[in-house]
Structure 1
Amino acid sequence: MEALSTEHYNVIRSIREHLQACILGKTDEIDMMLTALLAGGHVLLEDVPGTGKTVLVKALARTIQGQFRRIQCNPDLLPTDITGVSIYHPKQEAFIFRPGPVMTNILLADEINRATTKTQSALLESMEERSMTVDGESYELPVPFLLFATQNPIDFEGTYSLPEAQLDRFMIKLGLGYPDAASELRMLQSQQSVHPLEGVEAVTGTQQIREIQERVKQVHMDEAVADYLVNIIRSTRDHASVLLGASPRATIALFQAAKAYAAIKERNYVIPDDIKSLVPYVLGHRILLHTEARINGATVDSVLKGILEQVRVPVRLER
């Protein structure tokens, strides 16, 4: 199978343009969301309320004509509220499965850190296996399936920290942040008559997204670039300030994300700059620092920046 065609690049470009028109001034963040879509990964959106997280996820679902479901997480939420439940029907004398909101293409779990750890764990199987098990029966999820989870970084009361095992299953973690002054002014002008979502149109369908996801796997990564990627991962494990380095799952996630990111840039090969752009988003939430290092002012971002400066970049690649 060949890598992406001109038609595929046109679809990706069109989705990107629709999202950029919906949320102004967030080009890099939109590229990361598209990277997750094309690589089949999940996204953790950590930011304060009101920055456009929900609108952006809804817009993405609309552009690909995908099913969209939303869960408002809270301490009362049960695992079956996510996966679904089997209900006994007397007339049929049988249990009938009623699927939960997880049976969709794009699932938005709002304020995931407000759900209990038991409920959070209900998402683990769907995130990793693309399936769910209810009453001993396994059910395949639609393809594509992406989980976008949001959490508020400043609200501590009534929240449950995501365990490392679940954080590791998110391919990308990002925050939208506040818009700059020019973008915020344009936002006011654009919303005088219509909501941004009203201008978002379907660009493609889920069938073509599945095809693009398969083609992305054929994007070429030179052996030297792959070696560069592995050296970055291994450096996180050997760093003096790092308590827990990036896992082998992180290696695979960065590998898949780099291919998708190259496709967004309309290339059929990966370059070192693709990996550099992705490292903060793919590895930042997977690394834990020693307490002493944090006390001395070290941050995950500063550690990753230092690693990128130290690892030798390959200069000659085969395409």
Structure 2
Amino acid sequence: MTDLMPAVAYRRPLPISDPASLEDVELPVPTPGPRDLLVRVEAVSVNPVDTKVRTGQDPGGEPRVLGYDAAGVVVATGERVTLFEPGDEVYYAGSIARPGTDARFHAVDERIVGHKPRTLSFAEAAALPLTTITAWETLFDRFGLGVHSTGTLLVLGGAGGVGSMVVQLARALTGVTVIATASRPESTQWARDMGAHEVIDHHDLVGAVREAAPDGVDFVFSPHTGGAVESFAEILRPGGQITAIDEPEGLDLLPLKAKSITFHWEFMFTRPIFQPDDMIAQHDLLERVRELVDRGAIRTTLTRCLEPFDAATLRRAHEMVESGRMVGKVVVAGF
């Protein structure tokens, strides 16, 4: 292994149309810490968090590597690693508090890594971790659902990266009825393919939910919360719950009080950043999802794989995510 590796980074916030918004660079190969794996990255996916960090955080001219999904091969381990060995194929989302995965080699804490599903390629596996962790924590940590749970779950953005996984996991591991939102023919079909019992148009959310679920819904997963709280208050039953993953400014939750509706935040980087005692829960859930994938209960959400792995290709992937019209996930491979 050489001391330097190829990577893609940004130095200052720029529109993705600017060739300098993402640049090819060479950086030192990271040294793994005591609980770290050093992974040779084979594929990454691009998520909205990549574009938010790129446009919203200024590294002051220093190269900052993005990327919060990866699949690859362990090439070295820290002295306290117990879960993996060199040669293991892995998938994971990493941490927003550390350098990202858009590089040939990446250091990551073993407690947030899973063994790659054996039935998936690296590209197919790279599409899953961030959205899977977000969906899992939404359903089981925030809503507290289980195999015997019933009721109705409304999934906004059912064809998006996270929505696709919320639908799949809810169908595979709970007894809830899943209603997803989508508006275009291709996104509607995708949400049905993911397992949604019903797909409705979000443009008239209250009317569409009333038609699909006249008595209201029990749970709402929301990546689009701004301006929607009053609608949620209408469509949720008393004692219902919302989990949101966006961060709208000036959010007013008072409309939820009359029905005693619970509002949760979900941020899958909470465990990697703060390293609580249950940090290993992300390893455990990725291992569980690996089993579900390998027995055919869950499928990859990869819809586009771009090559080669360089700044120009990652700029294309960022453009696709920023368009807001992605169905499933876009992955970049081909080192």
TM-score bracket, shorter-length normalisation:
under 0.3
Q: Whose strand fraction is larger, Structure 1's or Structure 2's? A: 2
TM-score by length of 1: 0.28
Higher relative contact order (CA 8 A, sep 6+): 1
